Amino acid sequence: MRAFTYERARSPLAAAAAVAGKRGARFIAGGTNLLDLMKLEIETPTHLVDVQDIGLDRIEPTDGGGLRIGTLVTNTALAADPRVRRDYGVLTRAIVAGASGQLRNKATVGGNLLQRTRCPYFYDTNQACNKRKPGSGCAAIGGVNRLLGVIGTSDACIATNPGDMAVALRLLDASVETVDGQGKTRTMPIAEFHRLPGDTPHVETALQPGELITAVTLPRPLGGRHLYHKVRDRASYAFAIVSVAAVIQPDGSGRAAFGGVAPRPWRVEAAEAAMRDGAAAVAAQVFAGARPTHENAFKVPLAERTLAGVMAEARAENRA
């Protein structure tokens, strides 16, 4: 870990201004990912702006009938909120499928959206990684990559976004609200928040330097069955090999988004027209253009089978 300076901001604007005004500065909230990366010197901020005292830790209804979730709401609080459990069950299910109770107590909504890939080559500073060190190459391509991406990847990077919560937010068409160092606010759809790697895999989000996530908003509830199935090699405390978030209506229509397969939560809205035709019809469109490796080609049929299981579960719940 490199030496760094530290301050606690008192307001969102002060925090954004503090980071915008200092090269190498970073926000810190729960720190569940950033601190690990600092210990390994994968992240080497020179200055940390702690945002834990800036408020933004409440969940409130919006005028549009949805919810605004402050950026500092913990994963635990968000998953346990009665409104979320009732109207956005897929979000609760996705969150509790991730990490451990201890980590969820610390992890925040904004921080969780920014968690970085778990690609093992990103974590080993002896290895080439375009995301960690732009231009150094990608050791994961041609290496051990069973858990890495099958779609949306590039020749520069095949890492996945490791999140669970983000997959549910993508499914729910959440929006991300931000403020920058000048106090300018903006709102962007979650679909535009995470970037595909292309030639610049180190650029992971649409955030500008110093831009702070202030809230995530959810539109009106969708109704239907809310399901999240996370497939992994052990029963808990592992990142997804494949995950499926779905909201399925009684007539079989609905939405599906996929985790563990791509550099961002993966959802193809056009494919959802085929939801009533079954998982194969959906998956064929969602994974059109997939470019898996020899080791992770199984993820494509696995994603389809996982969706089929989710659809079957929704049907079973409807019958019950």
Q: What is the contact surface with other proteins in residues (CB under 8 A)?
A: 1-3, 39-41, 118, 120-121, 123-124, 126-127, 139, 142-144, 146, 229, 231-239, 241-242, 279, 298, 301-302, 305-306, 308-309, 312-313
Residue among 12 and 98 whose Cβ is closer to other proteins: 98
Q: ∠ CA(304), CA(308), CA(311), 5° rounding? A: 140
The least distance separating other proteins from the CB of residue 123, rounded to whole angstroms, comes to: 7
Order of strands, sheet of 175-179, starting from the edge strand that comes earlier in the sequence: 59-61, 67-70, 212-218, 175-179, 185-189
Structural tokens at position 223 = 């109704």
CA–CA gap between residue 74 and residue 64 (Å, rounded): 23
Q: How far is the CB of 296 from other proteins (least distance, A)?
A: 8
User: Cβ closer to other proteins: 16 or 244?
Assistant: 244
CB of 59 to other proteins, least distance (A): 29
Euclidean distance between CA atoms 260 and 303, whole angstroms: 9
To the nearest 10 degrees (0 to 180), the angle between helices 299-319 and 279-286 is 140
Question: Smaller CB distance to other proteins: residue 40 or 191?
Answer: 40
Report yes or no: 26 and 48 within 8 Å, Cβ to Cβ: yes
Between 203 and 308, whose beta carbon lies closer to other proteins? 308
Phi, psi for residue 208 in degrees, rounded to 5:
-90, 160
By C-alpha distance, which of 153, 96, 91 is closest to 119?
153
Least CB distance to other proteins at residue 68 (A): 33
Minimum CB distance to other proteins smaller for 88 or for 122: 122
Between 198 and 309, name the residue whose CB sits nearer to other proteins. Answer: 309
Smallest gap, in angstroms, from Cβ of residue 125 to other proteins?
A: 8
Least distance from C-beta 283 to other proteins, angstroms? 11
